[in-house]
Every structure is written in C-alpha cells, then in structure tokens.
C-alpha cells in the first residue's frame, strides 16, 4: 500500500474503529465458532499424495524447463519463469505471481570467447584455447552460445604474466606455496576446482597479489575411469575432454549493491560498484575456466619445483605437476577475458496452497530455476520435481477431502547461480513476515547422484527429517532386492553416523537458497538432495553444457526417473508433516543435547588451541563455563516444555507452536556475525568467512578468535568473550521463550 498523506486524526479514528471491530471478531470467534484442533497427519492422504507423483510428469516438466540455455536476466530465463508459473496455475495453485528485483549480474562477450594464449620467445603463438565446448548431443545442445566458457563477475581485460600453480587455492595451499618460496604477486594463479567455493579461491589469489586466475577440473576428480571416449560423457557421467565448470565468483550473497535491503526498483542502492570491488565482494582480476585438455597445455610447460604429492592430479596422465613460476623455455602466457556488469530484472515465482486451519503459517518449499546453460540437473531436476509436488497435491485436494491445515508456499528462485540473489532479496524484503509466519523452509537444488538421500538440517529438525524418510519407498530396485525398502534404509546404510545411531546430518552450509532463510531470518531449514556414496562433493558434469535431459534420463537416473520421483515424494512428505502435525515437529530438546554433546566440546577445543596467555585463556574459559551452564538450563527447560505442554485445545496448541517458532529466532543477532557477509546473522550456524560452501559453528566467536590471534590486543580478547556471551544470550532467549513468564 502506498502512503497517501491522510491527516493524522482520521488515522486515529480509523484505528479506533478497527480495534472495536477486531475485539468483536475475537470475542465472536472465541465464543461462537471455536475452531477444531488441527488433526495430525492423515497417513492415507499423505500416501495418496506420494502415489500421485509421477515420473512421466517430471520428465515433461524437465524437458520444458531445460529446453534452452536460460541464464538469469535473459529472455530465455524469463520464459522459464512463465513456464513454471503456468504449470503451477494449471495445477491449481493460488495467487501465482512474480516478484521482480533489479540486480547487478555479469555476462561474457558471447561473440568473443575468452582465451588462453601461449607465445614462444619469437612472439609466435604456440597454443590458443577455443573457449567454447563442443556440442555432443545436437538435439539437446545446439542452443546459441551454449558452449561458451566463462565465469560470472570475472574482471574484464587481458593480462600477460608468469603462471603459478596453487593446487585447490585453499588458505593452506597459499601458505604452503609461500613456504616453497614462490610468490603469487604479479602472477596468473592456476587452481583446480574442489575443496571450497571457486569465489574464495579467486578472492585469496587476488589478495595474494595475483593479476589473473585460471580454474580447471582435474580428471582425478571428474574423469576417474580415464579420459578416453569410452570412459567419459556421453558414455558415462564423467567429464569429457573439452568441458568446463562455469560459475559465479561473487564473494557474498545477494545483490552486491544492496546488502541488507531488497533491490527493488524504487529503492536506493546503498553500495556502489566501486565499493563492491574495494571490499572484495567482486573480483577485479580476469578469471576464466579451462578444460583439462587446455590445463595440460599449461601444466606441461610449467617450470620450477615439483608440486607436493597431494597437489598432483591426472592431467596429461602421468605428467608431474610443477608450481612455477613461469614456463620452461621462456614462453609467455596471456589470458583474454571479456566480461561486463549489467543491471537486470530478475523474477522469483511464488504460489500457494492455502491452509484450511492456519493460513498464516507458511510451510515453504523452494528451488531455483536459473541455470548456467540448460541446467537439467542443476537446478531443473529440482524445478521439475517441485512442479510435480504442486500438481500431485492439487490433484489430491481435488480428489479427496484433504487440504493442508497450514499454508504451503511454493517458491522458484531466480539468479541463484550468481550468488543466491533471488532468494536473498526475497528474504530481505519479507524478513519480518517470514519471522512471524514461516514454520520451515525446505530446499532441494538438484539431484547429484543416485545412491542415497542426503540431508542437511538444524538440530531441531533432525528427527522429523529422519522420520519422513522412513515413509518414502526406495527408488532403487537393487536396494529393495537387498531388503532396504525405504529411502531411510539406504540412507542409514550409506551415510551412517555411528555415534548417534542415525544417518549423518550436518548443518546446512551456504551453497543454495536455504542460506538466507537460516542465516538472515532464523527460519529453520532442511536442504536435501540425492547423491553418490563417495565423498566427492558434486557430480562431474556440474555447471557444464552437458546438463541436458539425456544426462538425467540415460545416465544418472535410468530407472524411469525413479530418483527424481523419490525426491518429490520426500519433499511432499516433509511438507505434509509440517502442514498437518498438531504440534510443530521442532525439537528444542535435541538442540540442547547437540549443543552440550557436540558444539560446546568443539568450541572448547578451539579455545584451548588458541595461542594465548594463561590469564587471557582463563577469562575466556570463564565465559565458556557460563555458556555451558546455560546450555544445561536449556536442556532442563526444553524437557519440561515437552512434558508439560498441553494440546487439548486450539489456544494451547497455538501457544505451544508460537513458542516453538519464536525460539528459533532467538539465534539471530541483528548486528550480524561477520564483517564480510551482511546476511550472516545466525550466531550458531552462519556461513564462515573463509568458505562460502561450508559453514563454521558460531562464526562470530570464530571470527573474533581469528582476529585475536592475528592481533592479541585487549579489545580483541574482550570481543572473543563478548561473542561467547552473545551465544549464551541466545540460549537464554530460548529458555525464556519456552517458559510461561518473564
Ligand atoms: C484419512 O483420510 C482418508 C481418505 O481421505 C479418510 O477415509 C479417513 O477417514 C481419514 N482418517 C482420519 C482419521 O481422519
Ligand atoms: C573490457 O576491456 C576491453 C579492453 O581489454 C575494453 O575494450 C572493453 O571496453 C572492456 N569492456 C568493459 C565492459 O569494460
Ligand atoms: C577429445 O575427445 C574427442 C571425442 O572423444 C576426441 O575426438 C578428441 O581427440 C579428444 N581430444 C583430445 C585433445 O584428447
Ligand atoms: C607417461 O606418459 C608418456 C606419454 O604419454 C608415455 O610415453 C610413458 O610411457 C608414460 N609413463 C608411464 C610410467 O606410464
Ligand atoms: C484441480 O481442480 C482445479 C479446479 O477444477 C483445476 O483447475 C486443476 O487443474 C485441478 N488440478 C489437478 C492437478 O487436477
Ligand atoms: C560414485 O562415485 C564413484 C567414485 O567417485 C564411482 O566409482 C561410482 O561409479 C559412482 N557411483 C554412482 C552410483 O554414481
Ligand atoms: C546410477 O548412476 C550411475 C552413475 O553414477 C549409473 O552408472 C547407473 O546406471 C545409475 N543407476 C540408476 C538405476 O539410475
Ligand atoms: C527430541 O530430541 C531428543 C534428544 O535427542 C530425543 O530423545 C527425542 O526422542 C526427540 N523427540 C522427538 C519427538 O523426536
Ligand atoms: C604465540 O604468540 C606469541 C606472542 O604473541 C608469539 O611470539 C608466538 O610466535 C606465537 N606462537 C605461535 C605458535 O604462533
């Protein structure tokens, strides 16, 4: 609503009138139409929804959503947004609409591919990379510019410099290179993918003085059975020889020009592009991705000492990697990167199934839809599954008496690939509403393999995530023939946590759209996927042009998309549980117990590992002890709450649920926990400064400890203690929230 300048007195009168009406309605509501208590999940209905989820429909949606390359900010991606909206509307979702933002994106020069050029001492070109991957399946991959190899937000320009090889570009790798006596200053940094977010590698290289960077995928990771045609795509899931991983280099989340606030057209942008460069949010050096074939051309020429054994890989078969600097026989390296920043309109799509009992409680499901190229795996395996969840729920509503008690909200995010932009702007715009109404946000980005379910969530939701998986049939015939009939049975077998006797569940990191919900708004999240049983962090064809339906259907999920279907079923099962359970399945007892048994011992270990004087250590430990005592109090309060909460009538149930939801928000520190990432506000789970993909517990404490170790001043010591105290304050907030009186 727009402010129209109504005189104050009229406003007061209207407010008074509204109050009288509100009181009457409340009185009427409590005395005459006392609502029934929400019934628990009706398992027959839940089963029907699962049965209504069909592979055939997922396949159709997948083909529609991943037909063209649909980079955020392009017309093709706008068409995908409309295709999602029309699928949802056709199924019968309510109030389907777009939520637009104007954000800073980055594009290459599609007419002018990036290149790596090598010249000999006579100035003759001895190698030039193509900068474009070849089409392998023409029916699916012939879209214009699909093969273009580039990285978003790379600096624009041409640089010639000596090369240095820095392994994965982790903090340790930079430290070790320094110990080897090799300086990165003024050099082009060659780094391989893996062990961290690519934007962090480039950030570190730039900080170390690099003037350019090249990223490649090592066959050691992405072509483990060999690089010959029989062992790579399209015969297998492994990466073929001219392929590259695309991606964003932004260091941080959301539109770089509007931290904290939504980038609405009518609002001012608080940060300038220059400031975004100066604070390292955007890299200023040119960067490009190359195939392992091109990496071989570089590697075989690098001079200097041999790289350590754990820096070796399988580029060029048995080639020995060296660290440089520079090439043997005086050859010269140049990289040409064409890159441009553009302000673009993006749009999230939102749609509802309104709850019959508590329409103001939101159970939120989401996935992004923008892709680097066709995105049939990342993200449209999820987009297709989500559309089918919506359709199957609406079919169930149409054909039975079921309707969720709480509202289920469907979200399709734009510009996730550039840095979680669509979801971050959304959370920034609606943070107050979300903090009041959102029960949970459940994210599924993409299928990464077909071995097992894999879940990341917060301690309060571990039990519900596990129980739901026991009600989803196993998509694998092979697993079923071994007696593992549910998704849970395979999950506990593949990823067991021996200590606690249930599947291994970590706290979500920053790699997808759940991050702003948890870290900025304090809404608890579940982020799940299907993946291979090995530790390899993602799938070999991640962010390549070969993510087209052939990969989903013929290589990754060959039994009629059974895994895609199971993903939809698990998503639906979770949604129904949160929508229909009388008392919200939020387990504060488990939070207390995980804090006491895991987080606090880890914190103590970090404290004891600090290089600190005895007296300073004592003052830190003193606060730590007080925090431990509060955690014990939390355990007592949570158990008491669990045992004495009453849910024999609506008012009591709502009071119980209200407290459960509010207790999650206690961990949001409005002042933030990280200087570098304004959306990091969760004192327990916010994403660490050093790797945007993973997470560190109690990042505020960790950051303060790092500052203290770099500069052990009294101010920095006090900040460590203060940050521990802020965690404790949040714990006390939960105790108070669960209690009856202040
Ligand atoms: C559960 O749903 C089924 C089908 O809609 C219905 O027949 C049954 O009565 C419901 N059960 C309960 C306990 O409400
Ligand atoms: C990129 O750099 C080239 C020179 O290397 C220049 O011609 C071009 O205008 C620059 N583009 C942008 C968008 O700054
Ligand atoms: C890359 O793979 C293609 C297809 O198998 C093959 O024709 C080509 O020779 C390979 N190129 C290199 C440099 O190995
Ligand atoms: C290493 O590779 C070269 C060139 O491909 C080959 O000639 C040589 O036999 C290989 N050596 C080993 C030990 O595999
Ligand atoms: C459910 O019913 C509505 C209204 O008749 C219809 O528009 C919609 O297509 C139906 N949805 C499904 C999935 O059957
Ligand atoms: C899982 O990965 C391993 C090695 O990374 C590979 O050998 C295997 O084929 C993969 N299995 C599945 C089911 O994807
Ligand atoms: C599972 O994935 C592997 C590749 O990782 C593939 O070889 C296998 O055929 C897939 N199985 C099914 C049933 O989809
Ligand atoms: C809540 O967590 C506690 C501690 O881990 C556990 O004992 C209990 O069974 C959980 N409750 C539910 C309902 O899952
Ligand atoms: C520990 O700190 C002292 C004093 O600040 C410093 O001299 C010493 O080098 C540090 N030791 C380590 C292992 O960092």
Q: Show the 3-state SS of 284-321.
A: CCEEEEECHHHHHHHHCCECECECCHHHCCCCCCCCCC
CB–CB of 113/336 below 8 Å?
no
The number of C-alpha atoms within 13 Å of 649 and in the hemisphere containing its C-beta is 4
pLDDT tens-place string over residues 439-448:
999 999 999 9
Nearest to residue 544, comparing CAs of 202, 200, 63, 136?
Answer: 136
Strand order in the sheet with 332-337: 125-128, 115-119, 332-337, 157-160
Q: What is the rounded CA–CA span in Å between residue 93 and residue 122?
A: 67
pLDDT attached to residue 227: 97
Q: Is residue 453 within 8 Å of 468, Cβ to Cβ?
A: no
DSSP 511: S
Q: With 70 as the cut, is the pLDDT of residue 204 above it?
A: yes
All residues at 6 or more sequence positions from 592 whose CB lies less than 8 Å from its CB, including other chains: 631, 634, 635, 637, 638
Distance (Å) of CA 626 to CA 37, 697, 731, 737, 739: 40, 18, 11, 19, 20
Confidence of residue 643 (pLDDT cuts 50, 70, 90): confident
**Candidate from 235-244, 366-375, 502-511 with smallest mean pLDDT:** 502-511
Distance of CA 448 to the CA centre of its chain: 14
Hey, what domains does the chain have and what are their CATH numbers? 42-106+342-469+506-580 (3.40.630.10), 113-337 (3.50.30.30), 588-738 (1.20.930.40)
pLDDT, tens digit (0-9, with 9 covering 90-100), for 372-411: 999 999 999 999 999 999 999 999 999 999 999 999 999 9
Q: Which residue of 318, 319, 321 sits with most ligand 4 atoms within 8 Å of its CB, as the best mutation to test the pocket?
A: 318
Whether the per-residue pLDDT at 98 is higher than 60: the answer is: yes
Instruction: Please tell me which residue in 416, 417, 547, 719 is annotated as part of the active site.
Output: 416
| Tens digit of each residue's pLDDT (9 = 90 or more) over 291-346 | 999 999 999 999 999 999 999 999 999 899 999 999 998 999 999 999 999 999 99
Give the lowest-confidence range in 19-33, 256-270, 384-398, 407-421. Answer: 19-33
**Three-state DSSP class for residue 527:** strand
Q: Which of 215, 203, 284 is nearest to 245 (CA)?
A: 215
Is the entire prediction scored with pTM above 0.95?
no
Distance 237 CA to ligand 7 centre (A): 9
- Centre of ligand 3 to C-alpha 241, Å, is 6
The dihedral through the CA atoms of 231, 235, 240, 245 has a sign that is: negative
Angle in degrees, CA 134, 140, 141, rounded to 5: 25
Pocket of ligand 8 (CB under 6 A): 463, 587, 589-590, 593
Strands 247-248 and 151-152: parallel
Q: Is 644 in the pocket of ligand 9 (CB under 6 A)?
A: no
User: How far from chain centre, in Å, is Cα 307?
Assistant: 33
d(CA 49, CA 216): 43
HSE-CB at 27 with a 13 A cutoff on CA atoms is 6
547 is catalytic: no
Kindly report the backbone phi and psi dihedral angles of residue 334, in degrees, each rounded to the nearest multiple of 5, phi listed first.
-130, 140
Reduced to 3 states (helix: H, G, I; strand: E, B; else coil), residue 36 is coil
**Pocket lining: 558 vs ligand 6, CB cutoff 6 Å:** no
Q: What confidence score (pLDDT) does residue 692 get?
A: 52
User: What pLDDT, on a 0 to 100 scale, did the predictor assign at position 650?
Assistant: 67
DSSP 102-131: EEEEEEE-TTS--EEEEE-TTS-EEEE---
611 pocket-lining for ligand 9 (C-beta < 6 Å) = yes
């Amino acid at each position: 609503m727009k402010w129209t300048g109504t005189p104050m007195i009229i406003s007061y009168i209207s407010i008074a009138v509204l109050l009288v009406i509100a009181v009457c309605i409340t009185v009427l509501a409590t005395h005459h139409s006392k609502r029934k208590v929400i019934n628990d999940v009706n398992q027959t209905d839940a089963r029907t929804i699962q049965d209504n989820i069909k592979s055939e429909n997922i396949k159709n949606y997948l083909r529609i959503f991943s037909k063209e390359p649909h980079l955020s900010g392009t017309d093709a991606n706008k068409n995908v947004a409309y295709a999602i909206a029309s699928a949802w509307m056709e199924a019968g979702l309510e109030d389907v609409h777009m939520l637009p933002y104007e954000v800073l994106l980055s594009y290459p020069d599609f007419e002018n591919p990036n290149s790596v050029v090598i010249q000999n001492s006579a100035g003759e070109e001895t190698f030039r990379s193509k900068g474009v991957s070849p089409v392998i399946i023409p029916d699916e991959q012939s879209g214009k510019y699909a093969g273009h190899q580039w990285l978003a937000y790379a600096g624009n320009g041409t640089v010639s410099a000596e090369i240095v090889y820095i392994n994965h570009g982790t903090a340790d790798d930079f430290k070790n290179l320094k110990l080897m006596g090799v300086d990165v200053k003024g050099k082009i940094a060659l780094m391989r993918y893996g062990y961290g977010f690519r934007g962090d590698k480039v950030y570190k290289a730039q900080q170390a003085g690099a003037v350019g960077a090249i990223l490649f995928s090592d066959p050691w990771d992405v072509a483990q059975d060999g690089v010959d045609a029989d062992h790579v795509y399209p015969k297998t899931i492994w990466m073929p020889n001219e392929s590259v991983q695309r991606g964003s280099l932004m260091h941080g989340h959301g539109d770089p020009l509007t931290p904290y606030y939504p980038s609405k057209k009518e609002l001012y942008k608080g940060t300038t592009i220059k400031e975004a460069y100066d604070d390292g949010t955007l890299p200023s050096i040119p960067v490009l991705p190359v195939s392992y074939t091109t990496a071989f051309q570089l590697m075989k020429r690098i001079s200097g000492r041999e790289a350590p054994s754990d820096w070796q890989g399988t580029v060029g078969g048995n080639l020995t990697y060296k660290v440089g600097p520079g090439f043997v026989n005086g050859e010269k390296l140049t990289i040409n990167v064409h890159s441009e920043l553009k302000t673009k309109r993006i749009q999230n799509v939102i749609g509802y199934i309104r709850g019959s009992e508590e329409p103001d409680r939101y159970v939120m499901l989401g996935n992004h839809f923008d892709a680097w190229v066709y995105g049939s795996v990342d993200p449209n395996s999820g987009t297709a599954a989500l559309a089918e969840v919506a359709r199957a729920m609406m079919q169930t509503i149409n054909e039975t008496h079921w309707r969720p008690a709480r509202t289920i909200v469907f979200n399709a995010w734009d510009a996730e690939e550039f840095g979680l932009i669509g979801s971050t702007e959304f959370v920034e715009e609606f943070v107050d509403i979300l903090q009041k109404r959102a029960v949970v946000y459940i994210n599924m980005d993409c299928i990464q393999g077909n071995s097992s379910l894999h879940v990341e969530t917060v301690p309060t939701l571990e039990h519900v995530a596990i129980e739901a998986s026991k009600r989803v049939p196993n998509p694998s015939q092979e697993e079923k023939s071994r007696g593992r009939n549910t998704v849970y049975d395979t999950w506990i077998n593949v990823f067991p946590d021996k200590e606690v006797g249930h599947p291994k569940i970590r706290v979500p990191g920053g790699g997808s759209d759940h991050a702003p919900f948890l870290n900025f708004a304090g809404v608890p999240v579940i982020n799940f996927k299907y993946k291979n049983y090995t530790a390899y962090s993602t799938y070999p064809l991640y962010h390549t042009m070969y993510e087209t339906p052939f990969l989903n259907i013929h290589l990754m999920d060959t039994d009629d998309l059974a895994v895609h279907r199971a993903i939809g079923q698990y998503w639906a099962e979770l949604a129904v549980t949160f929508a229909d359970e009388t008392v919200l399945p939020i387990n504060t007892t488990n939070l207390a117990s995980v804090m006491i048994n895991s987080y606090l011992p880890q914190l103590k270990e970090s404290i004891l590992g600090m290089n600190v004087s005895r007296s300073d250590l004592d003052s830190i430990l003193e606060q730590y002890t007080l925090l431990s005592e509060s955690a014990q109090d939390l355990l007592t309060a949570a158990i008491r709450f669990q045992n004495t909460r009453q849910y024999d009538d609506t008012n009591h149930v709502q009071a119980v649920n209200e407290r459960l939801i509010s207790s999650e928000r206690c961990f949001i520190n409005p002042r933030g926990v990280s200087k570098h990432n304004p959306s990091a506000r969760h004192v327990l789970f916010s994403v660490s400064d050093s790797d945007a993909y993973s997470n560190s517990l109690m990042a505020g404490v960790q950051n303060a400890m790092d500052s203290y170790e770099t500069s052990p001043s009294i101010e920095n010591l006090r900040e460590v203690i203060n940050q521990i105290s802020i965690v404790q304050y949040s714990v006390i907030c939960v105790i108070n929230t669960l209690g009856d009186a202040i």
